[in-house]
Structure 1
Amino acid sequence: MKRFKHLEATSVDEAAAALQQYDSAHVIGGGSDLMGCLKDNLWMESPEAIINLKTIPGLDGIRQDEDGLHLGALVTLTRIAESDVVRNTWPGLAEAARKTGSPLLRNIGTIAGNICQQNRCWYYRYPDKLGGRIDCVRKGGKRCLAVPGDHRYHSIFGAVKKCIAVNPSDTAPALVALDALVETNKRTIPIDEFFSAERGAVSTVLEHEEIVTGISVPHPGAAGRSAFRKIALRQSIDFALVNCAAALTLDNGKIATVRICLNGVHNNPYRCIEAEEYLAGQPLTRESATQAGELALAKAKPLLFNTYKVPMAKAVVADTLMDCLKQA
């Protein structure tokens, strides 16, 4: 790890000013992803400074009001998973937080950090110290090395700018399904517009001096239901092979509104638009949920070694929808 300045900000404005002062700087909340990036010398340009956000008061609150749920950027995944407020009204989000990482990681990992972490690929994240830099396309190389190489855990919906690394977040699909808003020191961003693998190494639309300050989730209403499922080799401790979140409302036994999101299958969290359009106005049954799973994967373009993800994703979409039906 190369040397850098460590600054402790006392306000969001101070942290943003510090980011603006340096050409290469990052903020740190929980640090579970950032520290790994630093230790492995991941970036082409090492940061000059790291700005600590944990010293800023007021960024770690959980609040419910008539508009919905308000989460501070530094709320840990453990607190979200164990919050009665979240579990009772937004169970899909609580379950996604509970399924993220190990208990130790959930104790330090924050909700903002979980949605801002960089995409996962063993070529991109290969440690510099184990034989030198691997210049994949995300590091300025000319091609994605996973396409002709080992792509078992990579995108089944094609590449973005030649890269087939996947978004690894568990809470991201839950927040997409729940139609959340990401609040920063500059603007409010609909969650559907927040993720942007198109920018190369960066996985979100955040500008250099922009800091996530909180996340708002609208109230689902009395008829609202949500659920989350994850498939991983070692349950929650591993990144997902496939995960899925769904949120819906029922009216007289039929689906009035529905949002479905997969992750671990593409560069960005993947909205299942065709499945949502099919389910609107339908009763939710095992048959309709299974058909929704088929439609969700209709545009899949798997490679030789990740074809297994297609039937897996179809099944997890159907099962997640049926979990919504089980809720009282």
Structure 2
Amino acid sequence: MSKPFTTAAVIGAGTIGLSWTALFAGHGMRVRVTDPRPDLAEAVEAALTACAPQLAEQGLDIRDIANRVQLASDVTEAVRDADVVQENGPENIGFKQELFATLVREAPAHALLLSSSSAIPATAFSGELDDASRVLIGHPFNPPHLVPLVEVVPGEHTSEESVARAVEFYRSVGRTPVVERKEIPGFVGNRLQNALSREAIYLVEQGVVGPAELDTVVTNSLGLRWSTVGPFLGAHLGGGPGGYRHMDEHIGVSMKRMWDALGQPDQGPEETERLITAVEKAYGHRSYSELTQERDHKQTAVLAALHATGNTTEENQR
């Protein structure tokens, strides 16, 4: 039996790091947070206050949640006695190489060393470490205290034991880990997101639709469908009783022809500015706080409905 996960170190207290902090503390862990930002105490307090109601909706006991979180003056203090370290620093290979060298040296020998990296694979910054066997990617989607997915991506030197322990850890804090066995920049989730975003930008750039209308298309069709079944099961069901094979035989050719017709947006300075202006026109009249609260409320409602019906990724894979 592996050592239980009782203490977590969170390195970097931006949006993702603060969300991880709330999630870990909400699951009863002791959490040490470090970040050079001068307002760290205020940021942690605000995050715990904002996240607490959502954690309570997940059935977690949030009494004394703030007492489970400590501020650390540096990385060495943060990782002391940690069972797991969650790094949330810049998307910069040099930064991560230096930081993870420190983590390997200062964290306990049993501690998992996890990175929230959005695009950089673990091997890119761990190849020269003395011990990279416990270094791997644990990439969440924002905000991780609400969105269940964590992409668990081992590097070339990550041990199978560390992969298994990472899956165990993320499940212990209510997440849905998916192990990806081949490193690729951006992993799976962000590559899919970027593919859709590229076509979305192209459609807006070409004047086919505006940003708000495109969002309406996605949330009332693909987003709704994919939140319950995903692209492949959705296509399998779209083929009727004949399934994916029937779908491919009947409309596969025409759909594949469309691949060549997909757009490549021309995001030069002028086009980029026009797109930014269009998005700001669509949503800029509402505050960031208002928009995130609405997003989180809707996401919580969707997750509650999926949980009530037993419709989860892990259920579908069984």
TM-score by length of 1: 0.26
Whose helix fraction is larger, Structure 1's or Structure 2's? 2
- Which has the larger share of strand? 1
Larger Rg: 2
> Whose relative contact order is higher, 1 or 2, with alpha carbons under 8 Å and at least 6 apart?
1
